[in-house]
Amino acid sequence: MSSCVTTPHHHHHGCFSGSRRRRRLLQAPAPRARPRLVVVAAAAAARHVAPPPGRAVASRAMSAEAPLGVAPAAAEEEMAAVVDEMAEEAAVWCAVHGLVVGDRAEPRSGTIPGVGLVHAPFALLPTRFPASFWKQARELAPIFNDLVDRVSLDGEFLQDSLSRTRQVDDFTSRLLDIHAKMMEVNKEEFIRTLLNRHGKVLGLDSKRIPQNWAATQFAEALSMAWTEFNNKRDGQTVSVVYFRAGYSPNDYPSEAEWRARLLMEQSSAIKCPSISYHLVGTKKIQQELAKPNILERFLNNKEDIAKLRKCFAGLWSLDNEEIVKTAIEKPDLFVLKPQREGGGNNIYGHDLRETLVRLQKEQGEALAAYILMQRIFPRASLTHLVQGGVCFEDLTISELGIFGAYLRNKDKVVLNNQCGYLMRTKVSSSNEGGVAAGFAVLDSILLTDE
């Protein structure tokens, strides 16, 4: 599930001065005296307390006076040294701890195990994030989990809502076929487990940096599912199936993969996600849930419904002629999303207008292949990014995703909680935002009282 809220946000990244997009290749650190970070930070703060007029970026939070006797040129050089040292140490940390991805510049990457790896892209310093919004996002996770579970049990709602999408999207159609077969045999998933993430686009005390144990808590949730399965035939019966892949047509290159997916759904194993959970996560279902009175179909608590609605961005089908007309006139205020997961598929600006005009002329079921979403405009801020061994500074925006874990055994809710977060930061000029797709970097957060 996804949710979006617009509010100003700031970064702690902009604390070191430097020209925008200045790139520095990381090198092995040479022996040198360690820069005095406190002095450098204070000097940086003094330079950024009053940003240049008209600069639409966030200023940093520190408010210290420049130390006496530190010349601007010397402070500049010392700040650059701090950035280089931090970036080098962070890249080494990534390598030591396995935070690596395939190197797109290495032709053999992905073909030979262990060859062509590079540190995952990351932001050097944490994003400043209002504690009130952090609390709100965490409180929403259990509500989203409960909503997904309840929607998943309404097979007719899923089939009806996605009936038109099936006509134009073969991947969704194949998933619906499997779901329909499970409905025909009245197969019930008595033990259901869900690991999901809902997102928020939000427009140096260590206690202000929240712990992030997403991987550990995901593992604990899967372990609890195994315990609930409670089958003593060790080594013979599969208890839990966790889908690391399977969310894209590329994951099903032949009929063999589709037969395997059907076989897993037919089995007694706990699926994470089950076919019904998978379908609830489609963009079309998100759009349906944003319609008036639909949440009331699945949730009884009015306060929970209000909290969810408060975080929904505008979502519309292309059957809404009025909103389509508005999007053609003002394409920069919208995003056109196809039924595809991952980055690199959304349509913006001039391309959005052209696509909508073409779809209007074609009419027919082609309209069901997309949904329109209100575009969110978070406040941009200067950030030090490290990608492919290169450290550079640019204007960025961020998206916070809260992970949730849910486990139910018949009428008993065993687990329903938030369990960590994912902060993705991207250059503000980029429309897409997936880390795996190469558009964004991993980030962390620093909670603030503002």
> Residue 426 annotated as binding?
yes
From the DSSP assignment, how many helices (H) and strands (E) are in the chain? 14, 17
> Residue 373 annotated as binding?
yes
Answer for the pair 385, 391: CB distance below 8 angstroms, yes or no. Answer: yes
CA 359/CA 439 separation, integer angstroms: 28
On average, the pLDDT of the chain sits at 80
Cα dihedral 178/182/183/184 (nearest 10) = 100
Token readout for 57 is 């970026």
pLDDT score, position 249: 93
> Residue 346 annotated as binding?
yes
> Residue 209 annotated as binding?
no
> Residue 187 annotated as binding?
no
Q: Between 405 and 72, name the one with better pLDDT.
A: 405
> Of the candidates 449, 443, 402, which has an alpha carbon nearest to the alpha carbon of residue 11?
443
CATH of domain 320-374: 3.30.1490.50
Token readout for 40 is 């450098």
Select the highest-mean-pLDDT range: 168-177, 357-366, 425-434. Answer: 168-177
> Residue 376 annotated as binding?
yes
> Of the candidates 17, 5, 65, 45, which has an alpha carbon nearest to the alpha carbon of residue 309?
5
Q: Between 239 and 26, name the one with better pLDDT.
A: 239
* SS (HEC) of 50-74: CCCCCCCCECCCCCCCCCCCCCHHH
Question: Hey, where are the domains in the chain?
Answer: 320-374
> Residue 348 annotated as binding?
yes
Find the range with the poorest average confidence among 49-53, 180-184, 191-195, 327-331: 49-53
CA 194/CA 349 separation, integer angstroms: 35
> Residue 371 annotated as binding?
no
Query: What global pTM score does this model have?
Result: 0.77
**Tens-digit pLDDT profile for residues 267-291:** 999 999 999 999 999 989 999 999 9
Select the highest-mean-pLDDT range: 72-76, 105-109, 174-178. Answer: 174-178
> Residue 338 annotated as binding?
yes
Give yes or no for residue 310 having a pLDDT over 70: yes
**Tens-digit pLDDT profile for residues 177-220:** 999 999 999 988 888 888 887 665 444 334 455 666 667 778 88
CA 346/CA 161 separation, integer angstroms: 21
Answer for the pair 161, 285: CB distance below 8 angstroms, yes or no. Answer: yes
CA distances (Å), origin 417, targets 253, 407, 438: 35, 9, 30
> Residue 374 annotated as binding?
yes
Amino acid at 159: Q
- Collect all residues with Cβ–Cβ distance below 8 Å to 448 and sequence separation of at least 6: 10, 61, 128, 129, 130, 131, 208
pLDDT score, position 111: 83
> Residue 432 annotated as binding?
yes
Write the Ramachandran bin of 98: left for phi over 0, alpha for psi from -120 to 50, otherwise beta: left
| Enclosing H/E stretch for 23 | strand 23-25
Give yes or no for residue 121 having a pLDDT over 90: yes
> Residue 286 annotated as binding?
no
CA 334/CA 328 separation, integer angstroms: 9
Give yes or no for residue 439 having a pLDDT over 90: no
Q: What is the largest CA-CA distance in the chain?
A: 80
> Residue 155 annotated as binding?
no
> Residue 184 annotated as binding?
no
